[in-house]
Structure 1
Amino acid sequence: MRTRTTALTLLVAGSLLAASGCAQSDDTDDGQADGPARPRTVTAVSGCGKGSWTDPADLDPDRAPARCAPGTPAPRPLPEKRRLTIATGTLSAEYVAPLQVAVEKGEFKKEGLDVELKVLPTPDALPLLAKGDVDAQWAAPEAAVMNGITSGFDIRWTAGNFSPDRRSKSGLWVRLKKDESAARVPMAGRKLGTMIGKGSVIAYPMNKALKKHGGGLDEIRFQQLGSADVLTALQNGGTDAAWLLDPVWRKVDGDRRYAFLGGQPRGEPLGGLLFGPNLLKKDPDAGVALLRAYIRTVNTYFAGDYKADRTFARDLAKLLKTDEEVLLSTPSLRMDWEIRAGTTDRLQDAYRAAGVSEGEKVPEARTVDRSLYEEAVGHQ
């Protein structure tokens, strides 16, 4: 498993490096090389007051996420219409819902943006993002992204997506042996079934949970399984533990034979929008407009417990092509466009522990750009 994951990470990094060469050539042709970005004027935004920004260093899991008033920040249509492509690994997952709703409700169009959501696996989309063939990616700063940035091209994490509700138990579950309790489960040497590789952002919370129980990413055996096989393997003893996503964990919740060891940290998004050179340098106005529409969608439709509105939940289930009862079986996600300080450092520590990252740690200044979403809400 380690060999396959490392090989995939290196393969993606190699593809990204090649794409980087193309992107740099394109930037040179445009006369917009890697010089300093032009200064941007940030002004106050009506409806986005003090609560529209929080200190990135605040890691309190109960921190209230940033919010503006519904319908804000108001649209500021671009002088000329732009066509943008956002790559995403799926259109059916709940965490993609704000993008889906922004398209459905015309929030992007209000900004003068014609947005296409294109389904592409992360390894395929990253080289296209680096080259400028796609404008943004709804993904996460995974090991392949960090390795690509190390290779020298422009990709930045520019907006968060969500963190789990305190009632959520999406995460690491273990089948208890005789006389074991959930308080302390020796994890070293056990087999972990997952469809998520070591290079995923989930390595960070997984490593954190394992260490609480006498293990770590370097002390367990990974077993790659398909999404439909993870729960079955845990239940029939084919694997000792598994990372169960929404709503699969509901199948074992309350069963004393299983214990929940931990999931994604509350209050800390681990993914969202990644921008490439198109929106970072060539057309940052379009980048701000895209984020403004995304943030407005969150404030209008996902500000709180959005599943409590049964009409909206029904419409959302149709949009995501999922069963309404399945959607309602898990708590609402806590949508959050902000990025916490140090998240990419903690992710890289986990990638090193998993053996899928090499070289010096990439500093946050090269992995994260908060300036565009700050501009969208008028934070100076």
Structure 2
Amino acid sequence: MDTRFRLARALLALALAALVQMVVPVEAAAPPPTTVRVAFTPLQAWGPLFIGEAEGFFAREGIKIEWVTFAGGADTIAVLIQGQLDVGAGAASAGFFNAVAAGGRVRIVADKGHVEPGFRAVSLVARRGLRVGGPPTVADLKGRKVAVNTVGAIAHYILAKALARAGLRVDDVELVRLPFPSMVAALQQGSIDAAILSEPFVTQAIQIGAGTLLVPAGDVAPGEPIAFLFYGPNLLDRSPEVGRRFMVAYLRALRQYVQGPTDRNVRVVAEYTKISSDVVRQGDWFPMYADGHVNINAIRRFQDWLYDLQLIGVRMPVTTLVDPSFQAYAAEALAAR
């Protein structure tokens, strides 16, 4: 009797366990994160993007970042249009305006830095020893080699403004194109005479004695945009929902970035740029709009300059260059959370 009772009880327990498995749903596994390929340059102006990954803001939106290295924003335009990159970052350039004019699906979608009075995070820096017997001046650059990361972008624009203060034009110097990380070594070696540098390389060049500050951007181009985020057809057309989630994470990171060089922000930027925390902390912090909105009038001024130099063939309506819908969606979504 006891044996039959124990057997019946065991069978009942098994039946109950099977019934529970049938009626209690198993929690579905979380979907894998969506990989988003983002342009990378080791500059302080990429701070919000670095913060977004380091603090898990992108992961919270189901996004995994894949960094793709470029010398500047101009180099990203073709690969964005081809769908080999999802998010571009950097300065607007003649290549961007010409691509849109030709029907390319690439748009500015958010602010990533602009110039304010006193701004030194982008500056014209001359090599030490350029002028024997005294500090160099802008006038000393006539006939000299001056580096920019991209021709027809904001560095070129700031250089033109700085040269004009000494009665010079860009044609009066020899333009050399170099990526920002290579400029400090080129100044040290004397292979270039000056460069438009961006932080953290402005501070690094001055600290190690490779260069002397000539003209900060804040003196010659206040109010002008430095950089933007760009979307290509992958996020504009094929996966706009991913584009919206990316922007939510970016604006969340931007809110942290605009708190300035806090210990945490400095550590994150130093880690991604491979520059010491002391240099990052001492450098200028890029002004950015906390809500990521784009200064339409500044884009119009820059486009006029490119047109006057015949670097672009047509002036485009600004509404065809900027898609504000992603930034607007993200700002509203964060306000509601």
| Gap regions ≥5 residues in structure 1 | 1-78
- Percent pairwise identity: 23
- Superposition pairs for residues 121-270 of structure 1, below 5 Å? 121=70, 125-163=76-114, 166=118, 168=120, 170-174=122-126, 185-186=138-139, 189-224=142-177, 230-231=183-184, 239-250=192-203, 251-252=205-206, 258=212, 260-263=214-217, 265-270=221-226
Aligned residue in 2 for 1:117: 66
Aligned residue in 2 for 1:106: 56
Is residue 314 of structure 2 the alignment partner of residue 360 of structure 1?
Answer: yes
Is residue 243 of structure 2 the alignment partner of residue 292 of structure 1?
Answer: no
1:238 shift after superposition: 5.8
Q: Which amino acid aligns with 1:148?
A: A
1:340 shift after superposition: 1.1
For residue 96 of structure 1, the aligned residue among 28, 46, 51 is 46
For residue 277 of structure 2, the aligned residue among 324, 327, 336 is 324
1:274 shift after superposition: 0.5
CA distance in 2, matches of 1:172, 1:227: 12
TM-score (norm 1): 0.64
1:304 shift after superposition: 2.4
Q: Deviations over 1:31-88 (max 9, x none)?
A: xxxxxxxxxxxxxxxxxxxxxxxxxxxxxxxxxxxxxxxxxxxxxxxx9876242331
Q: Which amino acid aligns with 1:114?
A: I
Aligned residue in 2 for 1:66: none
Alignment partner of 1:87: what SS?
Answer: strand
1:232 shift after superposition: 6.3
Answer whether contact 1:204 1:346 (CA < 8 A) is retained: no
Answer whether contact 1:162 1:268 (CA < 8 A) is retained: no
CA distance in 1, matches of 2:180, 2:119: 23
CA distance in 2, matches of 1:372, 1:226: 30
Answer whether contact 2:138 2:162 (CA < 8 A) is retained: no
Aligned residue in 1 for 2:303: 348
Distance 1:115 1:266, change over 3 A: farther
| Gap regions ≥5 residues in structure 2 | 1-29
Q: Deviations over 1:132-164 (max 9, x none)?
A: 333221233222222211221211010111235
Distance 1:118 1:221, change over 3 A: same
1:368 shift after superposition: 1.3
Q: Which amino acid aligns with 2:214?
A: F
Distance 1:80 1:345, change over 3 A: farther
Distance 1:258 1:298, change over 3 A: closer
Aligned residue in 1 for 2:233: 277
Aligned residue in 2 for 1:87: 38
Answer whether contact 1:137 1:274 (CA < 8 A) is retained: yes
Q: Which amino acid aligns with 1:243?
A: I
Q: Which has the higher helix share?
A: 2
Answer whether contact 2:121 2:286 (CA < 8 A) is retained: no
TM-score (norm 2): 0.72
CA distance in 1, matches of 2:216, 2:317: 27
Answer whether contact 1:317 1:327 (CA < 8 A) is retained: yes
Aligned residue in 1 for 2:9: none
Q: Deviations over 1:114-134 (max 9, x none)?
A: 232321435664333213333
> Which of structures 1 and 2 has the bigger CA Rg?
2
Distance 1:310 1:258, change over 3 A: closer
1:270 shift after superposition: 2.4
Answer whether contact 1:230 1:244 (CA < 8 A) is retained: yes
User: Quick check: 266-275 or 121-130, which moved more?
Assistant: 121-130
Distance 1:284 1:316, change over 3 A: same
